[in-house]
Structure 1
Amino acid sequence: MTLNSYIKSNITRLAPVYDTSESRWLIRIILEKLKGWSQTDIMIKGDQDVSAELQFSIDAIIARLLRNEPIQYILGETYWHGLTLKVTPAVLIPRVETSELVDIIVNENKSKDLAVLDMCTGSGCIAIALARTLPFPTVTGVDISEDALHIAGENAALCKVKIHFLKSDVLKPINLPEKSYDIIVSNPPYIALSEMSVMDANVLDYEPHSALFVPDDNPLEFYRAISSSSLRLAKPGGKMYLEINPLFSGQLRDMLKSDGWEDVTIIKDMHGKDRFISAHTAL
């Protein structure tokens, strides 16, 4: 079977789960991962026969995709914010919205040698992106999961940045020096359990629930703890940036103001949803 025919047959196989454009993208990145082929290479090789070995490898991946397993977990990596990062089911797959959060922080902070703290670091994506784009920062990442911290450490090494990773539960006081951080950022669990019914199977069946969900009766649980710790850990005038659930943006804004944060600002994402909050401590 030629490569073109094989690609068409797999687009048909994937049709129950993915539309045509997404299927083409999936097959392209599978071929790039397995063979190192670019889009041009795929076009050039279109009339060549596909080896049985390659068909076997791709068929195995297609079978996993049809079970809604994310391609990032299947391949063991994702491309995000210009970085190739290792991902496993121990960590969330970084989203484009989180890339927006990094851009907001970088655009608003031009000083050198800033001290940055990333709470709920997961794969380390935010910490690593900030370490690479801010001018000479010192970056610390905190997470409760040893498996996540292992992945984060591997990613920092792959991206050639120095980050101090610390195991700690952000719901409890974190053992870090007070009044030490210029920037504190977090993308904590923020999806209410009641929202599970409208979520895709590839998220519910494979991504870590501990990094996604919060109780319906306490949706600001992580933000309340992060706010308290950040007020203690931030320098005077230190900034805090949070990725948030649009459903609770107003409640969270009011809570942060009540906690004593200044200039609490809700920021919309590219889709027009309340997705981020920024604030700073008093000078």
Structure 2
Amino acid sequence: MLAKDYRNRFIQKLAPLYDVLEAESFFYILLEDFYQMKRIDLALQPDFVFTDQEISRWNLVLEKLEKEIPIQYILGKAHFYGLEFEVNENTLIPRPETEELVEWIVKKNEFKGKIKILDIGTGSGCIAISLAKNLPDAEVFAIDVSEKALETAKKNAFTNEVNVVFMQRDILKTEDLEQDFDLIVSNPPYVRNLEKDEIKKNVLEYEPHLALFVEDDDALLFYRKISELAQKNLKENGTLYFEINQYLGTEMIDLLEAKNFNEIELRKDIYGNDRMIFGKK
């Protein structure tokens, strides 16, 4: 079958579930992964043919997409801040909003020479590893409660050729981080159960709830705990960065003020939502 004909069928099959542009993007992501071909390459080869065996492979992926399994889990990888990360059911899929958080830290980095960074709730390791890659003088540590997530993060650090010290720890049960840091960053669980209706099926059914959801009556649980630990274990003038729930920006400012942080700054993401916050000890 001509690849361009299969492409049309592929998009038509997915159209009831995804918009046409997203369905088309899936096709070209797979084309590049399977054949190292970009959209322009296919346009320049209109007679490019998929064999029956290749079509069977495409159809297997198509069936998974029809079940709304995230394409990153199907391929076992995601791209984040110019790097490639293994992802699976134990890790969240890295998102563009989190890239913005990393970009903020890299560009705002006020420390000269060696700095010590801690990423709390590291998941796939995308924040910690991206910071280690882009701040070569940094000594980077990362914590997660999930042993399986940490196994994936360690693989990602090795693949991306950086050194990160990974530790398994339940941050809610931690009373002291046992060492001091220049910078602490966290993208903790922040989606309230009441917001589940806003979450797409591909996230709700396949991404780890442990890393996503908090109870409605204590949505800032992780932020409060991490802020308390940061006051203990940040060096003087140390900085704290969070990714946050878009609906709780004002509450986060109040929380950081109550925990005696200064120079607090709330930032919006590319979609115009309150998404990141900064404070200085």
The alignment's TM-score, normalised by the length of structure 1, stands at 0.96
Q: Please give the per-residue CA displacement for 1:172-221, whole angstroms capped at 9, x wherever unaligned.
A: 2266334x211100000001000001211011010001100000000001
Which residue does the alignment assign to 2:77? 77
Which residue does the alignment assign to 1:122? 123
> 2: distance between equivalents of 1:167 and 1:220?
22
SS of 1:7's partner is helix
Quick check: 96-105 or 227-236, which moved more? 227-236
Work out whether residues 172 and 225 of structure 1, in 8 Å CA contact, stay in contact via their aligned partners in 2.
no
> 1: distance between equivalents of 2:186 and 2:48?
49
* Cα deviation, residue 147, structure 1: 0.7
Q: Check if 1:250 corresponds to 2:245.
A: no
* Cα deviation, residue 263, structure 1: 1.7
Which residue does the alignment assign to 1:266? 266
Gaps of 5+ in 2: none
* Cα deviation, residue 136, structure 1: 1.3
* Cα deviation, residue 48, structure 1: 2.9
Q: Check if 1:104 corresponds to 2:111.
A: no
Q: Check if 1:132 corresponds to 2:127.
A: no
Which residue does the alignment assign to 2:208? 208
* Cα deviation, residue 88, structure 1: 0.2
Which residue does the alignment assign to 1:62? 62
* Cα deviation, residue 8, structure 1: 0.8
Residues 175 and 42 of structure 1, relative CA distance in 2, 3 Å threshold: farther
Q: Please give the per-residue CA displacement for 1:212-271, whole angstroms capped at 9, x wherever unaligned.
A: 000000000101111111111110110000000121121121122111111222111122
Work out whether residues 42 and 48 of structure 2, in 8 Å CA contact, stay in contact via their aligned partners in 1.
no
SS of 1:123's partner is coil
Matches within 5 A, 1:1-283: 1-110=1-110, 111-173=112-174, 176-178=177-179, 180-281=180-281
Gaps of 5+ in 1: none
CA RMSD after TM alignment: 1.3
Amino acid at match of 1:126: I
Moved over 4 A (4+): none
Identity across aligned pairs (percent)? 39
* Cα deviation, residue 22, structure 1: 1.5
Work out whether residues 269 and 276 of structure 1, in 8 Å CA contact, stay in contact via their aligned partners in 2.
yes
